[in-house]
Amino acid sequence: MPLTSDEIDRYARHLVLRDVGGPGQLKLKAARVLVVGAGGLGAPLIQYLAAAGVGTIGLVDDDTVSLSNLQRQVIHGTPDVGAPKVESAARAVLRLNPHVTVETHNLRLTPGNARELIRRYDIVAEGTDNFEARYTVSDACFSEKKPLVTAALGQFDGSLTIIKAHESGPDGAPNPTYRCLFPSPPPPGAIPTCAEAGVLGALAGVMGSLMAMEVVREIVGFGESLVGRLLMVDARSMRFDTIRYGWDETNPLNGRKATGAA
């Protein structure tokens, strides 16, 4: 569908960008993005996707808003305490941009339901705070051939990458999976939770905004993506570093002895 006069005015700063323009904005309007987690990372991610004009945003989260969330989960407000996060976030999106369709999924993704949900979308962005969800989402994205933007937060550090393991790189080798980067989750209790260790609120804003930029990049198609590269942010020293990682032939998804499942 063409852009309306209101959308042309709303997205004017995108439309004059040579690498976005009208064709890129129409791609954003047609895109369906699934955001897994409406918390610290999901809050700025969802807001910037909505502001950018992503046509359909799916929201997955089974949690409710608590007062301790508001230090970093800026899509929610004090009146939303006690409400399901997906509903609070959906209201914020519609206030920001009425041209966006929001699909709420007040549930926890599991190996039993992840693939069915993920296959309805073009790209997935995951910013949960638990390893079980990260592996479930990344495995399902591989099986359903969907790009995955995934990020994580520490106390004063964060990381971000894009997984497109269903495709091959320029050299013909398979792209790495999430399990090539992190073969298995750490033992339970090895890494303290956000509630136990704390997290700098503004850092969630930085990393969630970077996630949104990578989702937009993937949809529109400009610059160099983070496939095979892990962006690491150190907020203490304000350093941004990137390390490269590659395909591990022993990984269970697209390795030489792949089973198709972990």
Would you say the pTM of this structure is higher than 0.85?
A: yes
Maximum distance among all alpha carbons in the chain?
A: 54
CA angle 33, 38, 39 (to 5 degrees): 140
Least confidently predicted of 78-82, 164-168, 185-189: 185-189
Q: Which of 237, 241, 210, 236 is nearest to 225 (CA)?
A: 210
Q: What is the mean pLDDT of residues 209-220?
A: 98
Q: Mean pLDDT over all residues of the chain?
A: 95
> In this predicted structure, what is the pLDDT of residue 190?
78
List all residues 6 or more positions away from 154 whose beta carbon is below 8 Å from its beta carbon.
197, 199
**What is the β-pairing status of strands 229-234 and 157-163?**
antiparallel
Please provide residue 9's backbone torsions phi and psi, each rounded to the nearest 5 degrees: -70, -45
Count of beta carbons in the 10 Å neighbourhood of residue 5: 7
